[in-house]
Amino acid sequence: MALTGRTVSWWVRLRRPCPAAALRGPAVWLPTGLAACQRFYSGRDKEKIDMSAYPVESIRNFSIIAHVDHGKSTLADRLLEITGTIAKTDRNKQVLDKLQVERERGITVKAQSASLFYNYKGVNYLLNLIDTPGHVDFNYEVSRSLSACQGVLLVVDANEGIQAQTVANFYLAFEAQLEIIPVINKIDLKNADPERVEKQLEKLFDIPVDECIRISAKQGTNIEKVLEKVIEKIPPPQFNTTDPLKALVFDSTFDHYRGVIANIAIFGGEIQKGHKIVSAYSNKRYEVNEVGILTPDEQPTHKLYAGQVGYLIAGMKEVTEAQIGDTLFMYKQPVEPLPGFKSAKPMVFAGMYPVDQTEYNNLKSALERLTLNDSSVTVHRDSSLALGAGWRLGFLGLLHMEVFNQRLEQEYNTSVILTAPTVPYKAVLSSAKLIKEYGNSEITIINPAQFPDKHSVSEYLEPTVLGTIVTPQEYIGKIIVLCQDRRAVQKEMLYIDEHRVMLKYLFPLNEIVVDFYDALKSLSSGYASFDYEDAGYQAADLIKMDILINGNPIEELATITHNDKAYATGKFMCERLKDAIPRQLFEIAIQAAIGKKIIARETMVETLQEE
Ligand SMILES: Nc1nc2c(ncn2[C@@H]2O[C@H](COP(=O)(O)OP(=O)(O)OP(=O)(O)O)[C@@H](O)[C@H]2O)c(=O)[nH]1
Residue nearest to atom 12 of ligand 1 (CA): 69
What are the residue ranges of helices labelled H in 108-222? 139-146, 164-175, 194-205
Query: Is 58 part of any known ligand binding site?
Result: no
Name the pairing type of β-strands 489-495 and 542-549: unpaired
Taking the centre of ligand 1 as the mean of its atom positions, its distance from the CA of residue 66, in whole angstroms, is 10
CB 597 within 8 A of CB 575: no
Q: How far is CA 186 from CA 157, 189, 498, in A?
A: 6, 6, 22
pLDDT given at position 319: 65
List the one residue out of 418, 66, 352 whose CA is nearest residue 215. 66
Q: Which of 64, 72, 73, 74 best tests ligand 1's pocket when mutated (most atoms within 8 Å of CB)?
A: 74
From residue 18, give the alpha-carbon distance in Å to each of 285, 402, 416: 44, 9, 18
Alpha-carbon distance values, 67 to 40, 443, 533, 539 (Å): 34, 36, 15, 33
**pTM > 0.90:** no
Ligand 1 atom nearest to 219, measured from its CA: 31
Q: Is 45 annotated as a binding residue?
A: no
CA of 392 to the centre of ligand 1 (A): 35
Cα(75)–Cα(96) distance, integer angstroms: 11
In angstroms, what is the span from residue 349 Cα to ligand 1's centroid?
31
DSSP codes, 325-380: T-EEEETT---PPP---PPP--SEEEEEEESSGGGHHHHHHHHHHHHHH-TT-EEE
DSSP letter (8 states) at residue 85 = S
Task: Kindly report the protein residue whose alpha carbon is nearest to atom 21 of ligand 1.
Answer: 69
133 annotated as a binding-site residue: yes
- Which residue's CA is minimally distant from atom 27 of ligand 1? 69
Quick check: 21 pLDDT over 50? no
| Mean of the per-residue pLDDT values of the chain | 85
More confident position, 54 or 94: 54
| Residue 143 annotated in ligand binding | no
Residue 233 has what pLDDT?
96
What's the gap in Å between 181 CA and the centre of ligand 1? 18
> From the alpha carbon of 67, which atom of ligand 1 is closest?
25
What tens digit of pLDDT does each residue of 445-466 get? 988 888 998 899 999 999 999 9
Q: Are 301 and 310 in contact (CB under 8 A)?
A: yes
Residue nearest to atom 8 of ligand 1 (CA): 71
> Which of these ranges, 72-81, 89-98, 338-347, 420-429, has the smallest mean pLDDT?
89-98
- Integer Cα distance of 403 and 137 in angstroms: 10
- Tell me the DSSP string of 496-555: SSSSEEEEEEEEEHHHHHTTHHHHHHHHTTT--EEEEEEEEEEE--EEEEEEEETTEE-G
460, 444 in Cβ contact below 8 A?
Answer: no
User: What is the whole-number distance in angstroms between the Cα of residue 169 and the centre of ligand 1?
Assistant: 17
What pLDDT digit, counting tens, does each position of 530-574 carry? 988 889 999 999 999 999 988 988 887 888 999 998 998 899 888
397 Cα–ligand 1 center, Å:
23
In testing the pocket of ligand 1, which one of 69, 80, 107, 186 has its CB within 8 Å of the most ligand atoms? 69
pLDDT tens digit string along 243-266? 999 999 988 888 878 888 999 999
pLDDT of the residue at 10: 34
Distance (Å) from CA 70 to ligand 1 centroid: 5
pLDDT of residue 449: 85
Tens digits of per-residue pLDDT, 138-182? Answer: 878 888 888 889 999 999 999 999 999 899 899 989 999 999 999
Helix (H, G, I), strand (E, B) or coil at 469: strand
Cα–chain center distance at 285: 31
Residue 26 in marked binding region: no
Annotated ligand binding at 69? The verdict is yes
Residues 480-486: contacts with CB within 8 Å, 24+ apart? Answer: 482/516, 482/519, 482/520, 482/523, 483/507, 486/511, 486/512, 486/516
Give dist(CA 378, CA 358) in Å, integer: 23
Compute the distance between CA of residue 103 and CA of residue 93 in angstroms, rounded to an integer: 9
Mean pLDDT over 336-354 rounds to 84
Cα 75 to ligand 1 centre (Å): 8
Going from the Cα of 73 to the center of ligand 1, the distance in angstroms, rounded, reads 7
**131 among annotated binding-site residues:** yes
Q: How far is the CA of 35 from the centre of ligand 1 (A)?
A: 27
Closest ligand 1 atom to Cα of 215: 31
**ipTM > 0.90 for the complex:** yes
**Pocket around ligand 1 at a 6 A CB cut-off:** 66, 68-74, 94, 107-108, 133-134, 185-186, 188-189, 216-218
Question: Greatest CA span in the chain, whole angstroms?
Answer: 82
- Find out whether 185 is annotated in a ligand binding site: yes
331 Cβ contact list (under 8 Å, min separation 6): 276, 277, 278, 285
CA-nearest residue, atom 7 of ligand 1: 71
Residues 83-121: pLDDT tens digits?
A: 988 777 656 566 676 677 777 777 777 778 899 999 999
| Averaged pLDDT, 222-243 | 94
Residues in the chain: 611
Choose the residue to mutate in 218, 399, 400 for probing ligand 1, maximizing ligand atoms within 8 Å of C-beta: 218
User: Which of 64, 68, 73 to mutate to test ligand 1, by most ligand atoms within 8 A of the CB atom?
Assistant: 73
Annotated ligand binding at 70? The verdict is yes
Q: Tell me if 74 is assigned to a ligand binding site.
A: no
Decide: 521 and 475 in contact? Cβ < 8 Å. Answer: no
Say whether 187 counts as a known binding-site residue. yes
* 3-class DSSP string for 289-335: CEEEEECCCEEEECEEECCCEEEEECCCCCHHHCCCCCEEEECCCCC
Please determine, for residue 48, whether its predicted confidence score (pLDDT) is greater than 80: no
Is residue 107 packed enough to be buried (19+ CB in 10 Å), middle (13-18) or exposed (0-12)?
buried
